[in-house]
Amino acid sequence: MAKICLCLTAKTLKRNLEILNKYRKFADLTELRVDCLDDDERLYLRRFPELAGMPVILTIRRDIDGGYFAGGEGARVKLLASGLAYANADSRHNFAYVDIEEDFDVPSLEEAARTFGTRIIRSCHNMQGVLENIPAKIKSMQRAGDEIVKVAVSVKTTNDVLKVLQASGECKNKEKILICMGHYGIYSRILAERFGSIMTYCSALSESEIPGASGQLDVQELAELYRFKKITKKTKIYGVVGNPLKTSVSPWFFNTIFGLENTDAVYVPFPVNSVDDFFDIANELDVRGLSITVPYKETVLPSLAKQSAAVKLIGACNTLFRDAAQEKKSADEPQAIPGWCGENTDCTGFSDSLLKFIGKKNLKYIKTTIVGAGGVARAVAAEIHRLGGKALILNRTVHKAKNIASQYNFRWGGLDSHGIETMSKFNDIIIQASSAGMEGYEPQPGLPDEDPLFDPLELYNFSGKEAVMDLIYTPPVTPFLKRATACGCKTINGYDMVIRQACLQYSYFMGNDIPHQLITWINTTGANAWNKIQTG
Ligand code: NDP
């Protein structure tokens, strides 16, 4: 079972101990990053294992390997030797592991470590990208059978992560640590067990210290939300595909539900730069269900084996699950992986939330402006049409607004003065369905580099009579929603909608409806917990 290693990167041993004591219940072992200690603190590093009271890795990471040790190799060897000296007969008072790089060549030090039961982690860090042949690298790095090989590579794309996962499959029986550093590698840290790694490194991110490496997760989140220690080869994997994902409520929602139900499942953020490459990873990991979010709701369509009627009508998909019929067939053909079925739960999530908000059963005689013409705007337009409403669609890229509007005989326009003027006839309800204002959103290459936090309707003057819905829920109040509220409009953000659509996703993933008491919990206690997470 993979273990959780808490990286300690404070400047003093005292502070490292404070952090360790606060989070020790979440970790199995800890790594003392001596390179982060002040110079005078380094003199006392030998005391740390006894003070820590849990297995400690001794690491002095060089700056070329992504660490902070800028001194010469002689000084580093001396420090390592001082950490391994005066070995105690009680091995718990010695460092349990020492991390030394593949090019480190001081046999006497390695011999001393072995004699006193300190295991060698033979490491290689590639900050530039993925290594060509990881299995060969692992084989060549290991100098003795008792060494644990650690390979940490910077992943810049989803394809890089795929290469690491495939390499891991090629050396299944080796005791190793494999790490995909960086944003795209986050899920390899949560799914360390499935990536064939004996441990995952994390940090206490709520503390002020720097994380041990790029892409590390918070130790408490890893242990409590993702229930890391319960993830085995049998655990069913679900997740959300998108970019960015920092603000998605879904990992919190599903993992909380799985935890409350005690279901052997985990829901993971999959930040990806290519959905095609990601499907290879999903097949390797046997992912059972996926939420699809910005910006892939439309690009995912060609990869689907089956599309629901809603997906076909809307032209966007936010839910993927494996086809049960195909699954039965494939029981006789273990190699065949059932294809993905695409559903759209944004539509019902949106209309249920909107109708409750305005206290109506349909949208007859109601005129609406929809801002945005991306994946979710497609679902919004379809639902407004189904409920008998009329709409104007305004979008930065006008032809996209036109495409959707033509399907339903709606009006369209740009976010310019002409579009805003037309709004005077479509302002009973305003639905903000663009990404403008979403936290963490970065404009896509090739599009105008506007401030993503800007108010897309800044040219529009609210009368105060409009019902205003912003589908964004992180932050809970966007600049647009703030202005609408200040003008006296009745407002709602996208939290209610996202929970409603996630409850529907649950039923596609699990094959049964979400238990009623869990919905009640999510709407009461859960909503408070999520707000607390968001406001830090
Ligand atoms: P897409 O990437 O498919 O579409 C993004 C849309 O936002 C496009 O219309 C795009 O315009 C527009 N846009 C992006 N940046 C700007 C900007 N700076 N100024 C004006 N318009 C901009 O995303 P989705 O449709 O999937 O999601 C859109 C938003 O809705 C997201 O913020 C998401 O969080 C939220 N959402 C909420 C849900 C909920 O349940 N509450 C569910 C789904 C989404 P252009 O065409 O010109 O690029």
Q: How many CB atoms lie within 10 A of CB 50?
A: 13
> How far apart are alpha carbons 316 and 378 in whole angstroms?
7
Select the more confidently predicted residue: 231 or 325: 231
Asked whether the CA dihedral 124, 130, 136, 139 is positive or negative, the reply is: positive
Which ligand 1 atom is at minimum distance from the Cα of 447? 48
**Sheet architecture: strand order including 148-154:** 176-181, 148-154, 119-126, 97-101, 56-59, 29-33, 3-8, 199-202
Is the pLDDT score of 198 beyond 70?
Answer: yes
Distance 451 CA to ligand 1 centre (A): 14
Distance 363 CA to ligand 1 centre (A): 23
Distance 494 CA to ligand 1 centre (A): 12
Residue located nearest, by CA, to atom 48 of ligand 1? 397
What mean pLDDT comes out for the span 94-101? Answer: 97
- The pLDDT of residue 337 is 64
Distance 310 CA to ligand 1 centre (A): 19
Q: Is there a contact between 162 and 188 (Cβ–Cβ < 8 Å)?
A: no
Q: Is there a contact between 269 and 240 (Cβ–Cβ < 8 Å)?
A: yes
Which ligand 1 atom is at minimum distance from the Cα of 502? 40
Confidence class for position 335, pLDDT limits 50, 70, 90: very low
Which ligand 1 atom is at minimum distance from the Cα of 435? 32
What mean pLDDT comes out for the span 476-497? Answer: 95
User: In terms of pTM, does the model score above 0.85?
Assistant: yes
Residue located nearest, by CA, to atom 46 of ligand 1? 397
Distance 250 CA to ligand 1 centre (A): 17
Q: Dump pLDDT digits (tens) for 356-402.
A: 999 999 999 999 999 999 989 999 999 999 999 999 999 999 999 99
Pocket test for ligand 1, best of 241, 343, 353, 376 (most atoms within 8 A of CB): 376
Pocket around ligand 1: residues whose beta carbon is below 6 Å from it? 294-295, 297, 346, 349, 372-377, 395-397, 400, 433-436, 438, 443, 447, 450, 452, 456, 471-473, 494, 497-498, 501
Q: Is there a contact between 99 and 150 (Cβ–Cβ < 8 Å)?
A: yes
Distance 206 CA to ligand 1 centre (A): 30
Cα 32–chain centre separation: 26
Q: Dump pLDDT digits (tens) for 21-67.
A: 999 999 999 999 999 999 999 999 999 999 999 999 999 999 999 99
Residue located nearest, by CA, to atom 34 of ligand 1? 472
Which ligand 1 atom is at minimum distance from the Cα of 443? 15
- The pLDDT of residue 450 is 55
Distance 151 CA to ligand 1 centre (A): 38
What mean pLDDT comes out for the span 294-312? Answer: 94
Confidence class for position 445, pLDDT limits 50, 70, 90: low
Distance 238 CA to ligand 1 centre (A): 23
Torsion of CA 304, 307, 311, 315, to 10 degrees: 50
Q: How many CB atoms lie within 10 A of CB 146?
A: 10
Distance 294 CA to ligand 1 centre (A): 7
Is the pLDDT score of 159 beyond 50?
Answer: yes
| 367 DSSP β-pair partners | 390
